Amino acid sequence: MTDGSWSSRSEPASKTRMLTIFNIVLPVFLVVGAGYAAAKAGIIADVTVDALMKFAQTYAIPCLLFLSIYRLDLGVVFDAELIASFYIGAGVCFFLGVIGARKIFGRRPGESVSIGFAALFSNSVLLGLAVTESAYGLDALAPNYLLIALHAPFCFFLGITAMEFSRADGRSRADTFRIALVAMFKNPITMACGLGFAFNLIGAPVPSAVSEAGDLLARSGLPLALFGLGGVISRYKISAALGEAGFVTVVSTMIHPTITYVLAVHVFAMSDEFTRSAVIMSAMAPGVNAYVFASMYDRAVGAVATTVIISTLVCLATASFWLWMLGGSSL
């Protein structure tokens, strides 16, 4: 077979595969877009969006994570290399975000930490779970749950500690760490993950009626949260901080998954299942929690809001690219 004939046959197949991948990712972002359009058109009020997100993030998604982690076979899914491949990349991207904001864009220390936090905090729950499930099915989510269980504690501890040190104003290191720990464990998702691990490890039974009720709540979590995410994003305005937003978008959706991919494939030689979960999770756009963090400290709020909008839009393309890179029988 000549090179020309191979190329003529492979090009349509490649285009078909890319279209398949795009169609896998698109429904997730269509739900986000529906929420955005409904909020912009005034069909749902801000108070309704807030109620949806509060229900999803305080009840439905914590139920999903608690039950999923409770049911995990930790002996099979717990893998130090899986954790390292994701979180080494996350830590590197946090420091890249902080240094880039400080040295390239001339931001003050607290503002730099907020921008670094946006580069660190992947939308692993709302987008990561949805994209992985859409591409590979429910059975592929076990490694995702392990990464999510550590995600909020890791990100908030790193971000809050850095921010508190940047604005300590004479506060002792012990007080700074105490503030970081309290803020971290007030998060319902963190608490749900911790309880899921505890019940799993000690083998505590969950009554079937409670488990079934939790499953009912859990099934509503991702669709409502994706719709609500669109509503929340509709409130933000694209500010003048396009440079910072573009920088963080590249760091979070391209550099983080590149680091994770290299570690997973070329350093740790992880299984396809673990590699897919780690890379997809690391390729997601910064979550709304990045904006919450910036607002909490009133540091670089406009830049982070712009980043959330732009990176979420760009993520449709970058997520498709990483699914194409990962391949697999489902695609």
Q: Read off the pTM.
A: 0.83
Sign of CA dihedral 23, 24, 27, 32: negative
Count of structural domains within the chain: 1
- Asked if residue 7 belongs to a domain, the reply is no
Residues 274-317 have pLDDT tens digits of: 999 999 999 999 988 888 788 778 899 889 989 988 999 899 89
- Asked if residue 19 belongs to a domain, the reply is no
Domain containing 231: what range?
28-326
- Say if CB 144 and CB 112 are below 8 A apart: no
Question: What gap in Å lies between CA 140 and CA 30, rounded to an integer?
Answer: 22
Residue 82: C-alpha distances to residues 11, 76, 191 (Å): 34, 12, 22
pLDDT at 173: 66
Give the SS3 label for residue 70: helix
- Asked if residue 47 belongs to a domain, the reply is yes
- Asked if residue 6 belongs to a domain, the reply is no
pLDDT at 9: 47
- Asked if residue 256 belongs to a domain, the reply is yes
pLDDT at 86: 98
- Asked if residue 259 belongs to a domain, the reply is yes
pLDDT at 235: 85
Which portions of the chain are predicted below pLDDT 70?
1-15, 17, 168-173, 176, 179-180, 183-184, 240, 328-331
Residue 67: C-alpha distances to residues 80, 170, 186, 192, 278 (Å): 22, 43, 19, 9, 21
pLDDT at 13: 60
Question: What gap in Å lies between CA 276 and CA 329, rounded to an integer?
Answer: 12
pLDDT at 329: 47
Per-residue tokens: 270? 């992880």
- Asked if residue 16 belongs to a domain, the reply is no
CATH of the domain at 45: 1.20.1530.20
pLDDT at 107: 94
Question: What gap in Å lies between CA 281 and CA 301, rounded to an integer?
Answer: 24
- Asked if residue 218 belongs to a domain, the reply is yes
